[in-house]
Structure 1
Amino acid sequence: MVRLAGHQWGLVAVVASTPFLFALLLAASSPGLVEPVLGTVLGGASWGLAVILGLLGGAVFAGCLGALSRSPAMAASPVRRVFGLVLATFVPLGLCIVPALCLMLAGPALAVRLERGVGVARTERFVPARELAERLRYQLPRVLPRLPRLGAW
């Protein structure tokens, strides 16, 4: 990997710390969310995995920045440099940061549902077609206004 400049390492640090900062913001905005995270293995594991994904995203972003630094065409044009930086940001964002944020939201919610004893998968009961038709028959109006009759054609 090519040596990165100081401001580039700052960008890598911002990308890598995004899940950690998001965890702090979630904990500050809703303190009730911290209890399922710290109290259950599933909630803590989801946040731990999210932080690891954030660090992996930072490493991927550093690799992309290193590849951009080696390219002489990127150094020559400021427009290409900005476009390359935006594309280099989308790679770790899509691969690591967004899944990490989803884990941070879904892990505690799933832990709370499992703790309460609510099943994760809902089972729908089978309703026979005749019973459904009978219910619909009483819910629909008797006469539909201003609709042509099929026999009139």
Structure 2
Amino acid sequence: MVRLAGRQWGLVVLVAGSPFLIAFLLAVQAPGLVEPVLGTALGGASWMLAALLGLLGGAVFANCLGSLEPSPELAASPLRRALRLGLASLAPMLLCIVPAICLLLAGPALAVRLERDGGVLRELPVLSPQDIAERLRHQLPRVPPNLPRVNPG
């Protein structure tokens, strides 16, 4: 792993743990979300994938922090240091943390919708090719439309 200072590892832990924190806050705020997550495979898989994306985001952030080499002008300017830190955190946030938060929100909602609708697969009526052709024939117009001529001559 990358050689980081103690403060930098704290930032990495904050980035990697943000989906866990948001999942905990969602569970406290809306306890009805926990039941679809724990009760369905889809809800649990979405939160598990969000947790893995959070850990991946932390690893990417640690790599970005490790690639920032200290320079004398960087130590002199706190504004430059904050700007470089913000740019280093942009990639893991956009690639990992934002999709993880979307999974935290979408997984339980989709699980509840599928549970309410009665499952993923519904029985569709099996139609023979003749029935399909008959249905299509009734949907076509009886008279062809009056189209303009391209070469009136």
TM (norm. structure 1) is: 0.72
Paired residue total: 119
Change (3 A) 1:49 1:2: closer
Map residues 89-128 of structure 1 onto 2, 5 A cutoff.
Answer: 89-117=89-117
The one-letter code matched in structure 2 to 1:57 is G
1:77 and 1:64 mapped to 2: Cα distance? 20
The answer on whether the counterparts of 1:74 and 1:84 sit within 8 Å (CA) in structure 2 is: no
Match of 1:55 in 2: 55
Match of 2:41 in 1: 41
Long gaps (5+) in structure 2: 121-153
2:63 and 2:110 mapped to 1: Cα distance? 34
Q: How far apart are residue 78 of structure 1 and its match? A: 2.7
2:78 and 2:49 mapped to 1: Cα distance? 36
Match of 1:123 in 2: none
Match of 1:64 in 2: 64
Pair 1:20 & 2:20 matched:
yes
Which deviates more, 4-13 or 71-80? 71-80
The one-letter code matched in structure 1 to 2:55 is L
1:95 and 1:104 mapped to 2: Cα distance? 15
Partner-residue secondary structure (3-state), 2:67: helix
Percent of aligned pairs with the same residue? 71
Partner-residue secondary structure (3-state), 1:3: coil
Match of 1:6 in 2: 6
Match of 2:86 in 1: 86
2:119 and 2:74 mapped to 1: Cα distance? 53
